[in-house]
Amino acid sequence: MYRIFAGVFFKECIKTRLCMLALSVFSLAYMAWIWLGVHRLFLLDHPEIVWYRVMDLGQIPYAALAALPVTCACVFCCCQFLPEIRDERLRISLHLPCGMALLMLAHFLFGLLFLALLYLLDGLLLTLILQRHFPQEAVHMAQLTSLPWFLAGFFAYLCTAHTLLEPQHRSRLMGLLLGLGLCTPLLVKTTPGALAPALPWFALLLPLLLAGLLLPCMNFRHRRAQ
Amino acid sequence: MTPQPISIEHLGHSYGGHTVYRDLSLSFEAGKIYGLLGKNGVGKTTLIKILMGFLKPKRGICRIFGDPAHAIRPQTRERVGLLFERHLAYDFFTISQIERFMARFYPRWKAERFYGLVEVLGLPYNHKIAHMSEGQRSQVVLGLMLAQDPELLILDDYSMGLDAGYRRLFVDYLRENLHDGKHTVVLTSHVIQDMDRFVDEVVFLRRGGAAYMTGLADFMERFSCYRLDVPLAGAADMALREMGMGRQPLPGKHLVNVEAHADFYEFFTFHTAREILADLAGEGIHLPPQALQKSPMDMEDAFVGYTGRC
Amino acid sequence: MRAFASICLSVLSVLVLSWALPMLYDTALLSPLAKTHIFYSPVLEQCIYTEQIRGYDQQAAAKSEGHHADIVYKDEAGQYYDRLAFEAALPFIYYRNMEMRGLLPVTLRGKTLDRAAIEQARRVLELPARHLDGHHPPQPCLPLLESDPGQVALLYPADRFRLTEQGMLFTHADTNEEETALSHLFSTALAAQGFAFPARHVGGNFSTFKPYEGGIFMVDAQGSLFHLLRRNGEPVINKIVLPQGLVPRHVLVSESKERLWLGLVLDSQNRLWLIRQRDMALIGLDVPDYLPDAMDCKLIFDPLYLTVVTSDKALVQTTVFDLPAAERKSGDICRPFHTFRHEMSRARESWQSRLADTLFPFRLGFVQEETALLYPHLSLSRHWLLNALPFCLLLAGLWSLLQYRQSGNGLASWQGRAEAALILLTGLYGLVTLLLLKQKE
C-alpha cells in the first residue's frame, strides 16, 4: 500500500505542483484582502461598534471567504484530473499492477490532503486576522462559521472528480446534483455558527462520497455497466 | 497447466445496432508475435481495448494469463505491457521522473533497459516528455514497457505518428529484444510492410467478426495473387468487373478476393491458377490457360489482397 | 465493489434529493404561512384572530370586498369580521387607527382610556423558543451598559465581559486585552454577594435603543439569580430572593417607559414569572401546556389585561389574565380567566400539501422554527401509508416493467429487485437516482 501511495503522490505532486503553488498564492492574496476588509472596519468605526455588529448583529466581515474553498477545490480537481482525462491517460495508471480502488483512493486522498493543508492555512490566517481585533469568542465563532465552507470545498472536489471521471453525460449529472445538493446547504447564509451541529452529519457523508466515486472510476475503466 | 497469454472465447460485442463480433474465439500461444490486421471499422481497436481490459465485452470472455481481461489481477497485470495509441504517456514528467514513477510499481523493473533506449535520443534526463517529438516519445514509452519486463505486450498502432526512421528504430528494437521465444506480442499497425520484419502470426479480422489466424510465413507462401490483363478477359470483362467491385459470393470455393483495376484484374487465392480457372468456368467465364499470371506480393499487397481494398 | 459504490452514491443521491425536491416544490407551490395573530378583545370579551389561508373561504372573501381574500378575520365563536370591525374589536392594538376614526377615548370595564393611557400601558414581551440557550449559537461575550451615562442616550461600552470559572472578566475593545482592574472589581463584588462562578445563564437587553439601562440578570452555578447594574463604573448587585422551588432557566429583560415590569423569568418547570421593577418581586403566570423548547411565547400587556400567546408549529393558545395587582407578593401565581386554543391555518391541509405528501415519502430539512441551529432531520409524509406508499409502489412497478421490456430482466435478477426496493422505499428520489446512475450501453 505504501508503494501505491508513494507512487501516486509522487505523480500527483509533479503534475499539480504549479497548480498547488498558484492556489496557495491566490489563497494568501485572498486572505490578505479579507484582512484589509477587517482592518478597514476598525478604521471606519470604534472597535466596540465593530464588535457589536459582528458579535451581536451577526455581520461577518470575512464572508468573502465562503467562496474560496469551493473555488480552490474545483480548480485543483480540474488541474488534477483533466490531464488524466485528456486522451484517457488515466489508463496508464489504471494498468499499474495494483488494485484500482486503492489506486484511485490514493489520487483522491492526495487531493483531499492538499485541500486540507490549504484550508488549514486559510483557517489559520483567518484566526490570526481576527485574533488581533476580536475577543476569543468571536474568533471561535468565526472558525465555526467557516468550517462548513471548508467542508463544502471537500465535497466540491469529490463531486467535480465524479463529473470529470464519469464517461457518460447522463451520469455526470449525478456529480453535479451531488455537488449542488451537498454544497448549497453548507454555503447558505445563516446565523453565524448555526450550522455547527450539522457538521458531523455532513462529515459522515464524505467517506460515503469517497467510496461512491469508485463507480465513475469503474465506468471509466470498463466503459460499460454491469 | 500454464494458462495461455491470451484466449478469446465466444466473444460478442456490439455498439448500438452494429455488431462488431458475434462469436469470436482465438487462442494466442506464448512466445509468438501476432499482428492484428484488418481494415478500418472491423473492430481492431475494440478488440485491443477488450484485451487491454478497458472495455468489458457484452458476451463471451477474453482471458489474459487465465484472468478475465476486464478484471485482471494486479500480479497478472505486472506481466502485461501496454502501449497505447499515439504513444500515450504522462507528459508532465521528465525522463527520469517517469522512470522513477513506474519503477515503484514493478518488482522486476530493469532501469538499464529504459535508459539504454533513451540514451539513443541524446536528451538530458530532465527533459520533459511534453517537449518531445512523437518519435522521441515512442522511444520513452517503449523503454518503459521493456523495463517492466513483461511476458505479454499489447501494442496499439505503434507506428502512428512515427516517421520512417523512428518506425524502423522501434521495430528493430522490438525484434532484437522480444523475438526470443519468451515474449508474446500482439500488435496493430497501419504500416503493414513493417510487420514482415518480425511478426510470426497474423490475425485477419473481417467485418462481422470473422477472424483468420495463420503463420505469416505460411500465409505468404500459400497466398497468391494472379493477374489477368483486361484484353485477355474478352467477353467476360463485365462479369469480372462486377466481381472486382465487390459482388458476393465469388464463384467456386477457391477465390478469396477479386480486385478490378483499369487495365488488369487480380485474383487472390490459397490455391492454384488451374483451380481459379475452373471456378470461373463454372460461372461461364472461360479464360485461356495462360491468362492468369502469378504476381509477386509483399506483406501489404497480401493484406490488401486478403481483406480487400474497401 | 461496483454494488458497494452504487449503494454509497444512491444513499447520497436520495439524501440530497429528499432535501432538494421538496424544497423546490415548496418554493413553487407552497408559500409558507405566517403564524396566526391572535388577541383577546376587550370589546367582545373573547379571542379574535387574523390569519392567512390557502385556498378559498367564501365568507372571508365576502368580508374582504374583493381585496386580500386570503386574509381571514374571525373570533373564537367562528364569526367572520371585515378588517374595520376587526380593528374596532381591538382598540388597544389599533388605537392609532381608532383615534384617526374618532373612536377614542373608549370606555371599557368602567375605565375611559385615551391614546396616552393605552400607549402607557401597552407593551409586548416576546420569548421565542429559538432565543433559549441551546437553541442558538452561544455568544458569551457581552456588553454591560452604564446605567448612568450622564447624557440622555445610552452609550455602548468599550468593553465586554464573560463569566468564567475565574470570575467576570472584561476585555477592552481598543486593546483587545483583559481589563484586570475592572475584572477584579466586578468579580470580587459578585463573589462577596455569594455568586458561584461560572454563570449558567446571563439575561439582558444588550441594546442602547431603550429608555434606560435596567441591568442584567445572571443565574450562577448553583441556580441563584443575581441582578447586576453598572452604575458610574461600579457594580450594584442584588441577589434576588426566589420563591420556593424556582430554579431560573432563562431571563428576558425588556426595559420600558412605564418601569413596572422589567422582564420575565422562565424556570426549570416551564413556568413564567414577571419581574417587577420596583422590588424585583417575581409574580407567576399559570400558563397551561406551555413547552418553551417547542413553543414561542408572547406577552401582550394592555390597560386591562395581560394576554399570553403560546404557539408551536400548528397550535396557538391564548391565556388571558387580569393585570397583576401592584400589591401582589413575590411568589404569588396569577390564574387566567380565559383560554382559547386554535389550530392555525398553516397546519391545515391543502391540495398542495396533499400532493407533496404523495410525491415525497419523506423529506430532509435543516431549518426548524424552534431553533436557530441547523440540524438535519428527516420527516415522514403525513399520508405515507395512504398516499406516498401507493405512489412509490406505482413507480416501482413502472420501473420494473420498463426494465423487463428493455432487457428482459424485471424482478428476476437481484439487481432488478434491489432497484424496485429502492424506488418502493424512496419513491421519486430513488427513481431519479436510478435514472442518473444507470449506464447506457
- A216: alpha, beta or left, given left = phi > 0 and alpha = psi -120 to 50? alpha
Q: How far is A204 from chain C (nearest CA, A)?
A: 11
Q: How far is B77 from chain A (nearest CA, A)?
A: 5
Q: pLDDT tens, position by position, for chain A (226 residues)?
A: 888 899 999 999 999 999 999 999 999 999 999 999 999 999 999 999 999 999 999 999 999 999 999 999 999 999 999 999 988 899 999 999 988 899 999 999 999 999 999 999 999 999 999 999 999 999 999 999 999 999 999 999 999 999 999 988 888 999 999 999 999 999 999 899 999 999 999 999 999 999 999 999 988 888 753 3
Contact B104 A14 (CB under 8 A): no
pLDDT in tens, C215-254: 999 999 999 999 999 999 999 999 999 998 899 999 999 9
Rounded CA-CA distance A162/A165 in Å is: 5
In a domain, C350, yes or no: no
Query: Domain residue spans in chain B?
Result: 6-216, 223-307
**In angstroms, what CA-CA distances link B92 with A94, B88, B101, B104, B119?**
17, 12, 12, 18, 20
The candidate with the shortest Cα–Cα distance to C437, out of A180, A108, A215, A155, is A215
For residue C129, the 8-state DSSP code is G
Query: Domain residue spans in chain A?
Result: 2-222
Contact C436 A170 (CB under 8 A): yes
CATH label, B223-307, candidates 3.30.70.100, 3.10.20.600, 3.30.365.10, 3.20.20.70: 3.30.70.100
Rounded CA-CA distance B9/B28 in Å is: 12
**In angstroms, what CA-CA distances link C171 with A62, A193, B301, C140, C141?**
22, 22, 94, 12, 9
Mean pLDDT of C91-110: 91
On whether the CB atoms of residues B64 and B109 are closer than 8 A, the answer is no
| Mean pLDDT of all residues belonging to chain C | 92
Mean pLDDT of C117-127: 93
The candidate with the shortest Cα–Cα distance to C265, out of C279, C249, C254, is C249
Residue with cell 389599533: C94
The share of chain C scoring above pLDDT 70, in percent, equals 99
Which residues in chain C are closer than 8 Å to A218, comparing Cβ atoms?
Answer: 1-2, 5
Which residues in chain A are closer than 8 Å to B101, comparing Cβ atoms?
Answer: 7, 10-11, 14
The listed range with the strongest mean pLDDT (A110-119, B299-308, C99-108) is A110-119
- In our burial notation (b when 16+ CB lie closer than 10 A, e otherwise), range C389-417 reads bebbeebbeebbeebeeeeeebbeeeebe
Residue with cell 484500482: A100
Question: pTM of the entire structure?
Answer: 0.90
pLDDT in tens, B158-208: 888 788 888 888 888 888 887 778 889 998 887 777 777 778 888 888 777
On whether the CB atoms of residues B265 and B276 are closer than 8 A, the answer is no
Joined grid coordinates for residue C139: 455568544
- Give the total number of structural domains in chain C: 3
On whether the CB atoms of residues B158 and B150 are closer than 8 A, the answer is no
On whether the CB atoms of residues B60 and B10 are closer than 8 A, the answer is yes
Rounded CA-CA distance C387/A135 in Å is: 54
Predicted confidence at residue C390, as pLDDT, reads 94
Q: Which residue of C has its CA nearest to A55?
A: C139
Joined grid coordinates for residue A131: 485574533
Amino acid letter, residue C331? G
The candidate with the shortest Cα–Cα distance to A61, out of A149, A139, A117, A148, is A139
pLDDT in tens, B55-80: 888 888 899 998 888 888 989 989 99
For residue C407, pLDDT over 50 is answered with: yes
Amino acid letter, residue C242? L
- In our burial notation (b when 16+ CB lie closer than 10 A, e otherwise), range C74-83 reads bbbeeebbeb
Rounded CA-CA distance C1/A192 in Å is: 40
Rounded CA-CA distance C440/A169 in Å is: 10
The candidate with the shortest Cα–Cα distance to C418, out of C7, C18, C17, is C7
Predicted confidence at residue C340, as pLDDT, reads 96
Domain membership of residue C63 as a residue range: 37-120
Rounded CA-CA distance A108/A128 in Å is: 30
Which residues in chain B are closer than 8 Å to A95, comparing Cβ atoms?
Answer: 52-53, 77, 80, 82
Residue with cell 452494429: B18
C339: which strand partners?
C319
For residue C81, pLDDT over 80 is answered with: yes
Rounded CA-CA distance B83/B89 in Å is: 9
Joined grid coordinates for residue A216: 465513475
In a domain, C277, yes or no: yes
From the number of C-beta atoms within 10 Å of its C-beta (0-12, 13-18, 19+), residue C245 rates as: exposed
Rounded CA-CA distance B61/B174 in Å is: 29
Task: Return the residue in A38, A43, A46, A48 with the most chain C beta carbons within 10 A, the one to mutate for interface testing.
Answer: A48
Pair (C277, C134) in one structural domain: yes
Predicted confidence at residue A224, as pLDDT, reads 55
For residue C105, whether the previous peptide bond is cis, meaning omega lies within 30 degrees of 0, is yes
For residue C441, pLDDT over 70 is answered with: no
Joined grid coordinates for residue C126: 416576546
Joined grid coordinates for residue C361: 415519502
Using the Cα atoms of residue A201, residue A204, residue A210 and residue A214 in order, give the sign of their dihedral: negative
Q: How far is C176 from chain A (nearest CA, A)?
A: 6
The candidate with the shortest Cα–Cα distance to A153, out of A128, A125, A182, is A182
Rounded CA-CA distance B87/C310 in Å is: 75
Pair (C174, C228) in one structural domain: yes
More confident residue, B262 or A183: A183
On whether the CB atoms of residues B106 and A4 are closer than 8 A, the answer is no
Q: Which residue of B has its CA nearest to A15?
A: B92
Contacts of A130 by beta carbon, 8 Å cutoff, 6+ apart: A38, A62, A138, A139, A142
pLDDT in tens, C146-190: 998 888 889 899 999 999 999 999 999 999 999 999 999 999 999
Predicted confidence at residue C66, as pLDDT, reads 65
Using the Cα atoms of residue A69, residue A74, residue A76 and residue A80 in order, give the sign of their dihedral: positive
* Domain's final residue, options C70, C98, C120: C120
| Count of Cβ atoms closer than 10 Å to residue B264 Cβ | 17
CATH label, B6-216, candidates 3.20.20.70, 3.40.640.10, 2.60.320.10, 3.40.50.300: 3.40.50.300
> C9 — phi, psi (to 5°)?
-65, -35
ipTM of the complex: 0.93
Joined grid coordinates for residue C344: 392555525
pLDDT in tens, B11-31: 888 877 778 888 888 888 888
On whether the CB atoms of residues B227 and B264 are closer than 8 A, the answer is yes
**In angstroms, what CA-CA distances link C337 with C46, C303, C341?**
11, 16, 14
Joined grid coordinates for residue B156: 496499439
Mean pLDDT of C22-44: 93
Mean pLDDT of C194-203: 94
List the end-to-end C-alpha distance of chain C, in Å, as a whole number. 20
Neighbours of chain C (3+ CB pairs under 8 A): A
In sequence order, what DSSP letters do the residues of C300-344 get, joined into one string? Answer: EE-SSEEEEEEE-SSEEEEEEEEPPPTTPPTT-EE--SEEEEEE-
Report strand pairing: C377-380 vs C167-172. unpaired
Contact B105 A97 (CB under 8 A): yes
Rounded CA-CA distance B210/B83 in Å is: 25
On whether the CB atoms of residues A102 and A189 are closer than 8 A, the answer is no
For residue B121, the 8-state DSSP code is T
| Count of Cβ atoms closer than 10 Å to residue C337 Cβ | 12
Q: How far is A19 from chain B (nearest CA, A)?
A: 13
Rounded CA-CA distance A217/A225 in Å is: 11
For residue B249, whether the previous peptide bond is cis, meaning omega lies within 30 degrees of 0, is yes
In sequence order, what DSSP letters do the residues of B52-68 get, joined into one string? Answer: HTSS--SEEEEEETTEE
CA angle, residues C173, C229, C224, in degrees to nearest 5: 110
Which residues in chain B are closer than 8 Å to A94, comparing Cβ atoms?
Answer: 54
Give C202-207 contacts, CB < 8 A, sequence gap 24+: C202/C140, C202/C142, C202/C163, C203/C250, C203/C251, C203/C252, C203/C253, C203/C263, C204/C142, C204/C144, C204/C251, C204/C253, C205/C253, C205/C254, C205/C255, C205/C263, C206/A56, C206/C142, C206/C143, C206/C145
* Domain's final residue, options C100, C120, C140: C120
In a domain, C336, yes or no: no
| Position B229 confidence tier, pLDDT thresholds 50, 70, 90 | confident
Query: In degrees to the nearest 10, what's the CA dihedral of A108, A110, A112, A118?
Result: -150
For residue C56, pLDDT over 80 is answered with: yes
Report strand pairing: C377-380 vs C362-365. antiparallel
Using the Cα atoms of residue B55, residue B57, residue B63 and residue B68 in order, give the sign of their dihedral: positive
Alpha helices in chain B (DSSP H): 44-52, 74-77, 95-103, 111-119, 134-147, 164-178, 216-222, 230-233, 237-244, 273-282, 299-307
Predicted confidence at residue B1, as pLDDT, reads 63
C275: which strand partners?
C263, C282
Mean pLDDT of C57-85: 86
For residue C140, whether the previous peptide bond is cis, meaning omega lies within 30 degrees of 0, is no
Q: How far is A120 from chain C (nearest CA, A)?
A: 23
Neighbours of chain B (3+ CB pairs under 8 A): A
Collect all residues from A whose CB is shorter than 8 A from any CB in B. 3-4, 6-7, 10-11, 14-15, 83, 87-89, 91-92, 94-99, 221-224, 226
